[in-house]
Amino acid sequence: MNVSLSNNQEKYIASQIEAGDYQNASELMRDALRMEIEKGWEAPVSGRSVQDIIKAKTQ
């Protein structure tokens, strides 16, 4: 899989690797995805239906 990043995102990733927080960009991206998935699991349940969400996005 390929992911395109902005220059700012690339600089941020490079700084995290340089600081020793991560060994490479893949490690950082996996960690970021895990954290965002965890946020979703811990978030309150929405009362909206899929149709409600789609309708709100298309208006």
Tell me the pLDDT tens digit for each residue of 6-15: 999 999 999 9
Using alpha carbons, list the distances in angstroms from residue 4 to 7, 9, 30, 37, 51: 10, 10, 15, 20, 30
Where residue 1 falls among pLDDT bands split at 50, 70, 90?
confident
Q: Is the pLDDT of residue 17 over 90?
A: yes
Does residue 23 lie within any of the structural domains? yes
* Cα dihedral 4, 30, 16, 22 sign: negative
Where residue 3 falls among pLDDT bands split at 50, 70, 90?
confident
- Boundaries of domain holding 51: 7-58
Question: How many domains are there within the chain?
Answer: 1
Q: Is the pLDDT of residue 59 over 90?
A: no
Token pair of 13, please?
A: 């990733």
Contact 31, 22 (CB under 8 A): yes
pTM of the entire predicted model: 0.68
Does residue 1 lie within any of the structural domains? no
Tell me the pLDDT tens digit for each residue of 32-53: 999 999 999 999 999 999 999 9
